[in-house]
Structure 1
């Protein structure tokens, strides 16, 4: 896991060595173990440089991509690649980046892990390729030289990389299937193209003038959505979507528009076997996914919330580590709460004690969070939807203090295993469309029994009611609706649209696809990447092995959700592996803080002040009605929601990045 930077132009770029160094320095947290830059002249000749954090051993290596000097001097260059390394696989100097092919034709900067790199390496060796290192970076380079763009289909992992072909003067930038690893790009007013792991890297480049993207700002403020399109909240800054790539000559970059191509689409094959067979196969695939993600030359730990997803990872990982005769106990890291209804320590301790792990925990508190908000926003690059991001931040801070460098986490399970509340509505709709009336009634009754806080009738009706009726109904029920009165649309030039309203999402599989690729997972992955990398930690997500996701999408809906019970194949598949107290849990807390308690009881004064500050910072976008939302929630006139935090965080974000409208 690392941080990358790339800058290219048609003509020589003024002070390019310095600009590239600045772009990598600002993300030192992503890679404190090594740094490097390669600069390209108009003729294509590379100038290879190290930096203050480049280990001495790198300069002594006789490899075509290792630097011989640290000095960053001016010169005439049209392109540059920069890298910050977090050493995970092959800790030797041979893992230095930017890395090149033997003939220095292909150069790469890469962030991520290819989990099946050993298998791909064997295949490439059988085709005559030879390797300098034991890194997955070199495997990507050789795979590209062997298969071209099709190399992407060979990779099982999380990745974002930029490859420069010196001979053809072409850029190849790509991102993994689900966008676990970030990759942004921006073209400045003079036609200079820049790629980065984090948006803040662009703030150091000439021509940067931060303005908000009005439509995406509306999507976040009202609907709580970010990362659902290629656009970001910064006007002009785009992200390469998960499963997409760019492959173009640099002569095209002055068009101000790069053509992106999709290389991966969610696919599935209908499963024909029994529920028991599906559960067994699911468990075997999850186990294999975790096995691959235990490949590292450093210590690996696990996040443990006490829920089904993280607990299953801890239990499988424990068994796999025992098979490898690992000497050290597995380390787990958790967030507790001092408010009982949000606290999952009972379940966390069950797993920790049964698996005999070395358990570590932390407890979020509002007073501590107050001082951290500006720093977390800076690392996140864009505003975030709830204070749970702070809890996650604390967990990774604890991980760093315990000198663990890689973590396993359960992101992605809810999206393809139907773990969220909206999936119940999809289940009802599927039964209604297939005229299974008795089963529909039974499902609604069981859902209410297992989840008293859920309104099955509303979930069902929301799938049947026409879009034109939905918004007034949602407003009546105090749910998020279009065109809220607390946004002043004279200052926020956004269309009054409901994101993905026209998308197919009534069927359970369609809802999974939407959440995996647009509305849920991409946003959560950004939170996870920034919180982990802020602490120089690599986070791995076993539930996002594409083989597992595609298998689960092909299962009948009732194998995932039935009798008011979610994630059925996971529950059945972990029988005898995960403690029954966890397998049979029907409550779902999620990775939550006591935000409602903080707002309504403990420190309403803090939230009122934050809200006032956000309104002032918004440059007219938020009107005084926004303050009324906080007051009404505190006074019990309105149900708790995350709207106040979104408004507060948006104001902090505009101020932190000096964004204008």
Structure 2
């Protein structure tokens, strides 16, 4: 696990920027605190920060060269099948000087070129330079587990694991208007967009080939979203999933440093811990508890799993004050606005976990692959409405006027019913975007001043146009492409790397993903049940209590903070007319209306928008206004 950055200079002006390589590499220190190295010639510079996981000796350091000194590689991630690849490459005549997966990756490229990518089972962002042809190869893993951004102008190509590395090279600071609007709608910025114009995120499953000032972008992987002959037999699917996921977990146990697992008490992480415990005695497991929010505290269920499998279990019990005190560490690490507030507990969990292990397994990806969200059941009901759904629509005028918020079960139910009715009346394409969004596009358009508005819907169209039949498989494929990559994986990568912790995700093993998309939708969800196949496949190895409870997504107490602890901070950063006028981005009257709604008895989901504004203003102060 590491941080990478680099530059390809197309001309003498571009070569002048090679002097910034060292500074750019230093910006990635938390991603790789163990070793710091750079390499450059007259055309290309490569920087690497290492968090040593496999072959912790100096033989595994990067940038790494082959025996001929023709090729140089920087690589962030892990290749789990590197030993089998190494055996094949050895039979083809290659020799190795280290025990690292990095060297195997380098010789795999020398042997097969870009065709090596489908052979890799792992997660990665990488760059390989061929000195003879003066060509640069840059690639990202199938699902976007590891980030990679790049910037190109007439003089150079820059790339890096984080935007802060590119900023060290001096990329122009101009807001990307489409990304700005998308951020306020979704609370994150999906690939290929970034907050800065000219900077792009390399999409998952893609690579760049750079030579003589020209860049070619190619896709090497597409999600297998659906099949003409899906698996429909439950027992067959259960057996295949059991075998595939256990193999995926076992592959991710390879490490030369201490390893553990997150254990939330939910089905997903409990399955991972149960399978890992077959191969690791007294596995280290880690949970967060919430002292002030007993409804969301799942530590009891986590402890049942830990006891069943004899893990060495650690519980970090947090108060609301603990969460509040963690805001600065989480928000200030972000180099692009990102307003998923669940990043706060993930940040604290990563910090505490890193005190015990260097690698942690997680259950991320299961909700997107196997239909774990409320919106998936809602989608099914909207596509095939019954009596209850028609009744909800008939009573729409009541849901519209009643108070809606997440502060009480009743008002939250009204909020969900109102959202259901509004989504049901949309086309399948617009419905997907509606269910993925936190703030409607019309409200975002009111929020942003005219000179910062954009009329293009190119990104949104590229997403929703993928909805053709309206099947659940299409929805899940888009969730993997957009929500999982842009939100969930981004959150875990940022918060874990801020604490120099590697997180591995067995559910995103290529074999598990392919199997998931080969199953019929009916094995995943109905209008009243979610993750059917996942729950049934592992029912016998999990405590029965896990099946006797609902899914409780944790809610950070944002509204309470905004009205009390963070009120003065919001008035200074978000609701300050003088600041807003000088900045010129947001409509002052709309900001005032948002503040009024926040303090009303009917706040709705306004806390999400206020948090997005707060995070944006913190980012703007730190990165844009200097």
Residue among 336, 353, 357 paired with 2:307? 353
> How far did 1:89 drift?
0.5
Say which SS state the counterpart of residue 649 (structure 1) adopts: helix
Q: Structure 1 residues 430 and 120, CA, compared in 2 at 3 Å: closer, same or farther?
A: farther
> How far did 1:154 drift?
0.2
| 1:490 and 2:490 correspond | no
Say which SS state the counterpart of residue 5 (structure 2) adopts: strand
The equivalent of 2:405 in structure 1 is none
8 Å contact from structure 1 (residues 333, 361) kept in 2: yes
The equivalent of 1:43 in structure 2 is none
Q: Determine the C-alpha separation between the residues in 1 that align with 2:562 and 2:307.
A: 34
| 1:10 and 2:2 correspond | no
Q: Structure 1 residues 205 and 470, CA, compared in 2 at 3 Å: closer, same or farther?
A: closer
> How far did 1:140 drift?
0.8
The equivalent of 1:291 in structure 2 is 250
Q: Structure 1 residues 417 and 452, CA, compared in 2 at 3 Å: closer, same or farther?
A: farther
Residue among 566, 570, 576 paired with 2:540? 576
Q: Determine the C-alpha separation between the residues in 2 that align with 1:470 and 1:148.
A: 41
The equivalent of 2:609 in structure 1 is 643
Say which SS state the counterpart of residue 213 (structure 2) adopts: helix
8 Å contact from structure 1 (residues 380, 526) kept in 2: no
The equivalent of 1:153 in structure 2 is 118
Q: Determine the C-alpha separation between the residues in 2 that align with 1:540 and 1:478.
A: 28
Q: Structure 1 residues 246 and 202, CA, compared in 2 at 3 Å: closer, same or farther?
A: same
8 Å contact from structure 2 (residues 9, 43) kept in 1: yes
The equivalent of 1:264 in structure 2 is 221
Q: Structure 1 residues 15 and 481, CA, compared in 2 at 3 Å: closer, same or farther?
A: closer
8 Å contact from structure 2 (residues 365, 508) kept in 1: yes
Residue among 574, 580, 591 paired with 1:626? 591
Q: Determine the C-alpha separation between the residues in 1 that align with 2:187 and 2:540.
A: 39
| 1:246 and 2:178 correspond | no
> How far did 1:259 drift?
2.7
8 Å contact from structure 1 (residues 504, 511) kept in 2: yes
Q: Determine the C-alpha separation between the residues in 1 that align with 2:578 and 2:390.
A: 46
| 1:594 and 2:557 correspond | yes
Q: Structure 1 residues 233 and 371, CA, compared in 2 at 3 Å: closer, same or farther?
A: same
| 1:653 and 2:619 correspond | yes
The equivalent of 1:210 in structure 2 is 173
Q: Which runs of 5+ in 2 are unaligned?
A: 394-411
The equivalent of 1:117 in structure 2 is 82
> How far did 1:600 drift?
5.3
Q: Which runs of 5+ in 1 are unaligned?
A: 41-76, 445-450
Within-5 A mapping of 1:172-191? 172-187=137-152, 191=155
Say which SS state the counterpart of residue 576 (structure 1) adopts: helix
Q: Determine the C-alpha separation between the residues in 1 that align with 2:22 and 2:494.
A: 21
Q: Structure 1 residues 358 and 604, CA, compared in 2 at 3 Å: closer, same or farther?
A: farther
Residue among 126, 130, 146 paired with 2:95? 130
8 Å contact from structure 2 (residues 285, 306) kept in 1: no
Say which SS state the counterpart of residue 656 (structure 1) adopts: helix
Q: Determine the C-alpha separation between the residues in 1 that align with 2:91 and 2:414.
A: 58
What root-mean-square deviation, in Å, do the aligned CA atoms of Structure 1 and Structure 2 show?
3.2
Cα deviation digits, residues 635-656 of structure 1 (max 9, x gap): 2123134111011111111111
8 Å contact from structure 1 (residues 430, 508) kept in 2: no
Cα deviation digits, residues 425-470 of structure 1 (max 9, x gap): 33235556xxxx799999x9xxxxxx96785796477355348998
8 Å contact from structure 2 (residues 24, 168) kept in 1: yes
The equivalent of 1:534 in structure 2 is 498
| 1:275 and 2:234 correspond | yes
The equivalent of 2:22 in structure 1 is 21
How many residues align structurally? 597
> How far did 1:88 drift?
0.3
8 Å contact from structure 1 (residues 223, 480) kept in 2: no
**TM-score in terms of structure 1 length:** 0.83
Q: Structure 1 residues 165 and 484, CA, compared in 2 at 3 Å: closer, same or farther?
A: closer
8 Å contact from structure 1 (residues 187, 193) kept in 2: yes
Q: Determine the C-alpha separation between the residues in 1 that align with 2:431 and 2:439.
A: 10
Greater helix fraction, Structure 1 or Structure 2: 2
8 Å contact from structure 1 (residues 30, 534) kept in 2: yes
Cα deviation digits, residues 452-491 of structure 1 (max 9, x gap): 67857964773553489989x99xx996343446413323
Cα deviation digits, residues 533-553 of structure 1 (max 9, x gap): 111111111111121112111
8 Å contact from structure 2 (residues 287, 299) kept in 1: no
